[in-house]
Amino acid sequence: MKVSLFLTCIGEVFYPNVGKDVVKVLERLGCEVDFPEGQTCCGQPAYNSGYRKDAIKGAKQMINAFAGAAYVVAPSGSCVAMVHEYPALLQDDAYWLDKARELSNKTYEFTQFLVDVLQVTDVGAVYPAKATYHSSCHMNRLLGVKEAPKQLLQHVEGLELEPLSNGYDCCGFGGTFAVKMSAISEQMVDEKVRHIEETNADTLIGADCSCLMNIKGRLERLDKPIEVKHIAEVLNHHK
Amino acid sequence: MSIKIDDKNFYDHVDQELKDTFMRNAISNAQDNLRGKKIAATTEDEPFGNWEEWRNAGEEIRRHTLENLDYYLQQLSENIAERGGHVFFAATAEEANQYIKEVVEQKNARNVVKTKSMVTEEISLNEMLEDMGCDILETDLGEYILQIDDDRPSHFVAPSLHKNKEQIRDTYREKIAYDGTEKPEELTVYTRKVLREKFLQADVGITGCNFAVADSGTVTLVTNEGNANMVTTLPDTQISVMGMERVVPSWEDLDVLVSLLCRSAVGQHLSTYVTAVSPDVESDTVDAPSDFHLVILDGGRSRALGTEFQEALHCIRCAACVNVCPVYRHIGGHAYGSIYQGPIGAVLSPILAGYEEYQELPFASSLCGACTEACPVKIPLHELLIRHRERIVAGEGKTKASEKLMMKGFGNMTSSASVFQTAVKAAPTLTRPFAKDGSISKGPGPLKAWTNKRDFPAPSKDNFRQWFADHKRGGDINE
Ligand code: SF4
């Protein structure tokens, strides 16, 4: 199966390792992965801040970049949710609307792709740790991917998964929100950190680099010795 | 007269509220409790059936009603007139108040009892009546506490949520010569005694309106204390005030919406009382008011009609969105500076009072979507917040020029693979002076607000595209 990786801007700039792990997991599962060079960013920062026109520019770039792809897979529920927003963003332009729909229909979040398309829940990973899972808002609510990451983690050998209380609450990232409303965002991430600590987990796993960046940043600042891992990093750990 | 609760700006409010540990504890406990009850009431009650189907039905009723608002408002007003009541359409708060003033003057009324009304808060009716020399009494316990303490509501369903029982006891002692303890039962019994006396003296009863049933000409009120029954039956003159969107076509529709309301608000299957009032001048019933007035307020609502904000008028004020909102959880209701709080407050306040007053509220959300998921009538709240942001950016509010420039740059970067790549490659070098051990703890410019409280990752020196090309050539085979 041919799969085009959309690494996302945050992935490219900060977490190239997550990209590598996604590629390797997909390849192990028999996919042929390519990386379309024209990809940039899904445009979400502009869209969510009210800069619709600037977001449209990015959307068109992305549509062209992935025009030849059969499946597009990204390790970020939030960016995939944004791609799914393209048809609404381009609804007034029949030409682009068609293309936006096409891209949206073939774009999947990484764990969603593994479970729903490849129909795999056990990727043969081994990861001895006591972990808890943070479910990202956009992935969970806007994209509706709730169970896939948990199903995958349940099959990881050696991984002990503790439930996270108030797991449905946002970690306070929200793109520019974390900067514009930093005092409120801080309280939100602090509450998240408290709940993570209560689990006594040594590792926090998530499926969206941006939320992890926020939580990790606060954990580091508070000197909390908790590892933060993207789910692709965990799933690529094997014998 | 407005929905504004004071003159403070949003950021000052936030600073102040974040320091109020009591309030924040009270709110997070209440949220955990209420959303737990709601989930139980909507998922574990077999006979009720599928919650999502109920939501779809609720959404459909609200959409249909708002799309045909003229028709249903006319039907409602004709039916009320036919039963001997008076209907007044008020375009503004001033018009509504003027009308109510005339009714009260005509009756020579001095004692007014009130219940269950956000919309009279919205038009500052109490102040107007006080200026006329009337004695006004809020008869819902929560509202009564706020009234004697000269405070404003912080939650739709539990307006005095931000106060604890000791604070309430102290207020009672200071303002109404109470000498009991802070026990809720004792406070309630005392309040009830005060209220009972006033009910008997009341000349006019004023109520809000949860829903008005168009095809029967009935105002309905959903309450748990039963005071609405007193307000609507004891005084001969009754004035109900409603936002123009609060109409429902029929009793069948009301059934759906009340079921959604009670479950979403407090996790109850039904509230203790659903009071229904129609003028009934002809048949001379004992409990119908002989003089009935319905004031239907626009108050800026029509600005949303026919726009992307129309769905905001679907709101049934259940506060489910407030109860799940992580921002409200930390800053409480007063920080919104509006009598409408939480996600729906952030959507509604700029519509009703403009961006000048409320331009920060649409940004006071991480767009986590918890509100949209909770809303029983499926209002896409977080999307409406983005629509507000778009309007503000497009010039209806003040946006910093630097931000516009930055976003423009961002747009250009995302629409060109080469510019994007240049930026990705330059990022580690540009940020090197600030980075230590892979983290930035004191960032420049826009990073400052972030790094005040959190570390920021240093951009990776590793280039993914390079790696991928090598990998494809088999270069990392042993990695
Ligand atoms: S917006 Fe929806 S959830 Fe919020 S108060 Fe209104 S009806 Fe309830």
**Which of A12, A50, A62 lies at the smallest CB-CB distance from B386?**
A50
Kindly give the distance from the C-alpha atom of residue B292 to the centroid of ligand 1, in angstroms, as a whole number.
29
Could you tell me the CA-to-CA distances from B477 to A126, B4, B433, B468, B470 in Å, in that order?
A: 20, 65, 34, 12, 9
Looking at residue A144, its amino acid is: G
Which position has the higher pLDDT, B224 or B308?
B308
Contact A202, A226 (CB under 8 A): yes
Element spanning B215, H or E: none
- The predicted complex's ipTM stands at 0.95
Q: In a 3-state reduction of DSSP, which class is residue B475?
A: coil
Q: Check pocket membership of B335 for ligand 1, CB cut-off 6 A.
A: no
Tell which residue, B265, B267, B209, B235, has the closest CA to residue B80.
B209
pLDDT reading at B421 higher than 80 = no
**Which of A13, A39, A61 lies at the smallest CB-CB distance from B459?**
A13
Closest atom of ligand 1 relative to the B264 alpha carbon: 8
Q: Check pocket membership of B375 for ligand 1, CB cut-off 6 A.
A: yes
pLDDT reading at A7 higher than 60 = yes
Which residues in chain A have Cβ-Cβ distances shorter than 8 Å to B14?
A: 181, 183-184
Q: Check pocket membership of B157 for ligand 1, CB cut-off 6 A.
A: no
Searching chain B, which residue's CA lies closest to the CA of residue A38?
Answer: B417
CA-to-CA distance for B107 and B112, rounded, in angstroms? 11
How far off is chain A from B209, nearest CA to CA, in Å? 33
Closest atom of ligand 1 relative to the B371 alpha carbon: 3
Residue whose CA is at the smallest distance from ligand 1 atom 2: B375
pLDDT reading at A153 higher than 70 = yes
Which position has the higher pLDDT, B402 or B114?
B114
Element spanning B216, H or E: none
Strands B439-440 and B435-436: what pairing?
A: antiparallel
Contact A60, A103 (CB under 8 A): no
**Which of A12, A46, A181 lies at the smallest CB-CB distance from B407?**
A46
Average pLDDT over residues B149-176: 89
Residue whose CA is at the smallest distance from ligand 1 atom 3: B375
Which of A165, A191, A220 should be substituted to probe chain B, the one whose Cβ sees the most B Cβ atoms within 10 Å?
Answer: A220
> pLDDT over 70 for what percent of chain A?
100
Kindly give the distance from the C-alpha atom of residue B306 to the centroid of ligand 1, in angstroms, as a whole number.
20
Asked if A40 lies within 8 A of B416 by C-beta distance, the reply is yes
Asked if B464 lies within 8 A of A12 by C-beta distance, the reply is yes
pLDDT the model gives residue B25: 92
Asked if A51 lies within 8 A of B407 by C-beta distance, the reply is yes
CA-to-CA distance for B27 and B323, rounded, in angstroms? 9
Phi-psi label, residue B332: left if phi above 0, alpha if psi -120 to 50, beta otherwise: left
Structure token pair of residue B166:
């000791």
Kindly give the distance from the C-alpha atom of residue B91 to the centroid of ligand 1, in angstroms, as a whole number.
24
Q: Please name the residue that has the structure tokens 């998964």.
A: A161
Q: Check pocket membership of B348 for ligand 1, CB cut-off 6 A.
A: no
Q: In a 3-state reduction of DSSP, which class is residue B209?
A: coil
How far off is chain A from B308, nearest CA to CA, in Å? 13
Could you tell me the CA-to-CA distances from B313 to A166, B20, B183, B309 in Å, in that order?
A: 30, 32, 39, 8
Mean pLDDT over all residues of chain A?
Answer: 95
Kindly give the distance from the C-alpha atom of residue B320 to the centroid of ligand 1, in angstroms, as a whole number.
6
**Which of B331, B366, B413 lies at the smallest CB-CB distance from A173?**
B366
Q: pLDDT digits over B12-45, tens only?
A: 999 999 999 999 999 999 999 999 999 888 887 7
SS (H, E, C) chain A: CEEEECCCHHHHHHCHHHHHHHHHHHHHCCCEEECCCCCCCCCHHHHHCCCHHHHHHHHHHHHHHCCCCCCEEECEHHHHHHHHHHHHHCCCCHHHHHHHHHHHHHEEEHHHHHHHHCCCCCCCEEEEEEEEEECCHHHHHHCCCCCHHHHHHHCCEEEEEECCCCCCCCCCCCCCHHHHCHHHHHHHHHHHHHHHHHCCCCEEEECEHHHHHHHHHHHHHCCCCCEEEEHHHHHCCEC
pTM, full prediction: 0.94
Asked if A58 lies within 8 A of B415 by C-beta distance, the reply is yes
Average pLDDT over residues A159-176: 94
Q: In a 3-state reduction of DSSP, which class is residue B410?
A: helix
Mean pLDDT over all residues of chain B?
Answer: 89
CA-to-CA distance for B22 and B213, rounded, in angstroms? 41
Contact B330, B162 (CB under 8 A): no
Residue whose CA is at the smallest distance from ligand 1 atom 6: B315
Q: pLDDT digits over B277-298, tens only?
A: 888 766 666 667 789 999 999 9
Which residues in chain B have Cβ-Cβ distances shorter than 8 Å to A174?
A: 365-368
Tell me the pLDDT band of B430, cut-offs 50, 70 and 90. Answer: confident
CA-to-CA distance for B397 and B377, rounded, in angstroms? 29
> pLDDT over 70 for what percent of chain B?
96
- Ligand 1 pocket mutation pick from B336, B375, B385 by most atoms within 8 angstroms of CB: B375
Q: What phi and psi, each to the nearest 5 degrees, are found at residue A9?
A: -70, -40
pLDDT the model gives residue B283: 64
Average pLDDT over residues A98-114: 97
Closest atom of ligand 1 relative to the B342 alpha carbon: 4
Asked if A19 lies within 8 A of B450 by C-beta distance, the reply is no
Looking at residue A158, its amino acid is: G
Q: Check pocket membership of B316 for ligand 1, CB cut-off 6 A.
A: yes
Phi-psi label, residue A166: left if phi above 0, alpha if psi -120 to 50, beta otherwise: left
How far off is chain A from B196, nearest CA to CA, in Å? 43
Average pLDDT over residues B446-454: 81
pLDDT the model gives residue A215: 96
How far off is chain A from B229, nearest CA to CA, in Å? 39
pLDDT reading at B396 higher than 80 = no
Contact B350, B362 (CB under 8 A): yes
- Among A156-165, B142-151, B195-204, the range with the most confident prediction by mean pLDDT is A156-165
How far off is chain B from A132, nearest CA to CA, in Å? 20
Q: Check pocket membership of B324 for ligand 1, CB cut-off 6 A.
A: no
Average pLDDT over residues A182-206: 96
Q: Check pocket membership of B384 for ligand 1, CB cut-off 6 A.
A: no
Tell which residue, B149, B143, B193, has the closest CA to residue B167.
B149
Q: Check pocket membership of B155 for ligand 1, CB cut-off 6 A.
A: no
Tell me the pLDDT band of A38, cut-offs 50, 70 and 90. Answer: very high
